[in-house]
A = this chain, B = another copy of it.
Amino acid sequence: MSDQPVVRPAPISGFSEWLPEVRLVELHWLDRIRATFERYGFASIETPSVESLDVLTAKGETSQEVYTLRRLQADPRDTSDAKLGLHFDLTVPFARYVAQHFNDLVFPFKRYQMQRVWRGERPQEGRFREFTQCDIDVINVDSVPLHFDAELPRIIHEVLTGLGLPPWSLNINNRKILQGFYEGLGIGDPLAVIRIADKLDKIGVAGVSDLLAGAGLSPEQVTACLDLAQIKGSDASVVDEITRLGVKSDLLAEGLDELGFVLESLADLPDGSVVADLSIARGLDYYTGTVYEGKFLDWPNYGSICSGGRYANLAGSFIRRDLPGIGLSIGLTRIFAKLVAEGLLQTGPMTPSQVLVVVPSDERRADALAVAARLRERGYNTEIYHQADKLKKQLKYASQKGIPFVWFPPFEDGRPHEVKDMASGAQTEADPGTWTA
């Protein structure tokens, strides 16, 4: 017997961990997401979890959430660690990667990146200190065709539909519409209004109205802004609705063309999958065109499940080139943890094993080893219950782990192999060279 344990093992708030049967589903999700990204020709990259603080804080955003690193017993005079932090998203590392490897990449560069990121914020529902993001971006020198604004939501639609999520929609807007509309109203600082409008789902119409008035907008301007923010629709008719508000500017017209194009390109998707929602602004300053935000329909107050948009120049802090692009990021942990919490995640076996090979006795062990090797060669995930325990115990192990087949090598010379189908209970003769699951 061991000594008294000294440390009680316990979960840490904001960090998730799954049992094997749940992890198996998560792994299946990650495989599907990756396969779909690759199906559209996106290439995998990974970046270190750590960046220099210069890089992480180049844009000034969320810097207070950055976790910095320090060795446990570091010499206090050694400040080298203090210049390193864990990345808080995959966008900043991607921008740094593109700038650093600019001469070795071929453009347009289409990458996906599925990694953990860290944020030192207060854990609460949907907010984690460590979580996995699945990002796709297209980045190019000087320009990126508008067709990608439609292709990215199509990919995300295909990914999330394939995972069997509860009802959700991908909401779309275009920053040019917002900015052009506000300019057309004669508002001097459209970005400030965008930041206020972004709060609509948090503080409601009255709250936004107060903030806009406080920012110096006239009652007519406030009304027009709120009219715009309440427009929503699945097809290009939203463009007419906006036009009917009577506001005019070149930038607005450009934004309406782009939104109309994206909606038309996606018209074949099921109704309600993609929704133009003029209230969406996305707080980040670097978005300059299409913006995306995915939400669960049944939990409107839960954070966005995916988000992204088009940017004119993401890597400007790192390289003297114009590198516009467009990206979308899936909040995998946020989605997955919600389904687990709601009891909506259907789990199966605890192991990838398809076959458990029984060891009848120490004398008959060689047969068990041989049949397992043969089944593995034939592509079946096969484990051996090495201990020659009672049969009942070996079967219980298979049953508890959810292993679908149990293989019995001959219990004496001249007898055949047999396989038990654990679901039906049927036990039949089988040949290791030809048997199929």
The reply to whether the CB of A39 lies closer than 8 angstroms to some CB of chain B is yes
- When C-beta atoms are compared, the residue in chain B nearest to A357 turns out to be B41
Selected interface stretch from A97-105, A172-180, A296-304, A424-432: A97-105
Give the distance in Å from the alpha carbon of A66 to the alpha carbon of B72 in the complex: 5
The answer to whether B96 touches A9, judged by C-beta atoms less than 8 angstroms apart, is yes
The answer to whether A72 touches B49, judged by C-beta atoms less than 8 angstroms apart, is no
The reply to whether the CB of A2 lies closer than 8 angstroms to some CB of chain B is yes
The answer to whether B376 touches A39, judged by C-beta atoms less than 8 angstroms apart, is yes
The reply to whether the CB of A65 lies closer than 8 angstroms to some CB of chain B is yes
Give the distance in Å from the alpha carbon of A99 to the alpha carbon of B5 in the complex: 10
The answer to whether B145 touches A401, judged by C-beta atoms less than 8 angstroms apart, is no
The reply to whether the CB of A411 lies closer than 8 angstroms to some CB of chain B is no
Evaluate whether A49 and B8 lie within 8 angstroms (CB atoms) in the complex, with A39-B376, A316-B2, A387-B145 already known. no
| Residues on B with beta carbons closer than 8 Å to the beta carbon of A8 | 318
| Residues on B with beta carbons closer than 8 Å to the beta carbon of A63 | 72-73
The answer to whether A151 touches B50, judged by C-beta atoms less than 8 angstroms apart, is no
The answer to whether A23 touches B43, judged by C-beta atoms less than 8 angstroms apart, is yes
The answer to whether A68 touches B70, judged by C-beta atoms less than 8 angstroms apart, is yes
Cβ-defined partner of A69 (8 Å) among B69, B352, B381, B387: B69
Please provide the 10 A-B residue pairs with the shortest distance between their CB atoms, ordered closest to farther: A41-B383, A15-B48, A41-B353, A2-B316, A9-B100, A71-B120, A147-B386, A38-B352, A145-B386, A64-B73
The answer to whether B71 touches A40, judged by C-beta atoms less than 8 angstroms apart, is no
Evaluate whether A85 and B72 lie within 8 angstroms (CB atoms) in the complex, with A20-B111, A43-B350, A50-B12 already known. yes
